[in-house]
Amino acid sequence: MSIIPALRLSILAALAMCMAACAPAPLPFARLAGLITSKDLDEVSGFATSRAHQDVLWAINDSGNPARLHALSVRGKVLAQFDVEGAKNIDWEDMASFDLDGKHYLLVADTGDNGGVRKSITLYVFEEPARLVSGTLRPAWTIRARWPDGPRDCEAVAVDAVAGKILLVSKKRAPPELFALPLADPGKAWREPRRIGRLSGVPAADPELQRSDPNMAKLFTQVTAADLSPDGQTLAVLTYGSVLFYRRNVGEDWGTAVARAPEAHDVPLIPQAEALAWSAGGGGLYASGEFNPAPIFYLTPEH
């Protein structure tokens, strides 16, 4: 997104003033927690909360940017950057963090496909760096997959490590489709995502927006990010217009859980909202988008 310098400065000033004035008194659902000002992060497409470092978020940019992972404080300060060897950023669109066999991992989903032309998608799994000192990373393993019935855009990925599954949500299908993919290292084998459900209750744009800006209204329901709560019981899903919480009962599969209407909230003031990650304790989520400066909001769902 291109913004003239004067407007960029005015937005930065307004957000900084709001942080200073509003942060001590949380709003019912969303409060401004930080601000990303680094020029290296002007198209944030995915967040993941660190499992190894307190109050640290991992972030990625989408297509057209280097294959690089950025470690941030929850206030938005860049702490370290890691260039990835053995991976390409064709269209990185989401991240997830998880624990497996006593180790902390990060997953990066190269699954974006705006034109619906990609023959395959790639997901990279990295062992999370123990020290936040800029350097290089190589994937611990790589998962290559082909959709079962042709290309589709996917910008939302979560990891259910207990079940050994990666959950993927389609962006432009209505209703959005939920797929599952094995998390384990496949070696050289190719995987095929399996459709396990469709998301119910995704709010549409209000009638006024549908009348005044039909093109924007069409974007309103498109899914741009997802993350699974630390207890594994709530799938948070971000669209351009809403934040949705799908909760499952004990022993229930995700296909059944997402078939019920979710808890839904309007997206706060996030330009092109595309990044979402549960906090380490699971009390809320951090959200941001493709913009610079990019606000980081902390979202608190109902309990």
| Cα–Cα distance measured from residue 279 to residue 36, given in angstroms and rounded to the nearest whole number | 17
pLDDT of residue 269: 79
Residue with tokens 């990019």: 294
**Quick one: which of 166, 125, 123, 183 has its CA closest to 254?**
166
Assess if residue 89 is contained within a domain.
yes
Task: Answer whether 254's CB lies under 8 Å from 235's CB.
Answer: yes
Assess if residue 184 is contained within a domain.
yes
In residues, how long is the chain?
Answer: 303
Separation in Å, CA 154 to CA 48, 102, 113, 188, 219: 17, 29, 7, 23, 14
| Cα–Cα distance measured from residue 121 to residue 119, given in angstroms and rounded to the nearest whole number | 7
Assess if residue 256 is contained within a domain.
yes
The region, left, alpha or beta by phi > 0 then psi within -120 to 50, assigned to residue 117 is alpha
pLDDT of residue 106: 98
pLDDT of residue 23: 38
Task: Answer whether 176's CB lies under 8 Å from 244's CB.
Answer: no
- The CATH number of the domain holding residue 155 is 2.120.10.30
Beta strands (DSSP E) in 37-100 are: 44-49, 56-61, 68-73, 78-84, 92-100
Assess if residue 21 is contained within a domain.
no
Assess if residue 26 is contained within a domain.
no
Residuewise pLDDT in 10s, the chain (303 residues): 334 344 344 444 444 444 443 333 333 589 999 999 999 999 999 999 999 999 999 999 999 899 999 999 999 999 999 999 989 999 999 999 999 999 999 999 999 999 999 999 999 999 999 999 999 999 999 999 999 999 999 999 999 999 999 999 999 999 999 999 999 999 999 999 999 999 999 999 889 888 998 888 888 899 999 999 999 999 999 999 999 999 999 999 999 999 999 999 998 878 889 999 999 999 999 999 998 899 999 999 876
**Quick one: which of 302, 172, 161 has its CA closest to 245?**
302
Helix (H) or strand (E) holding 166: strand 165-170
Q: Tokens standing for 301?
A: 């769902």
pLDDT of residue 28: 52
pLDDT of residue 27: 39
pLDDT of residue 217: 85
Assess if residue 106 is contained within a domain.
yes
Domain count, the chain: 1
pLDDT of residue 303: 63
pLDDT of residue 6: 42
Assess if residue 29 is contained within a domain.
no
Q: Which residues of 109-144 are buried (b: 16+ CB within 10 A; e: fewer)?
A: bbbbbeeeebeebbbbbbbbbeebeeeebebbebbe
Host domain of residue 208: 35-298
Assess if residue 75 is contained within a domain.
yes
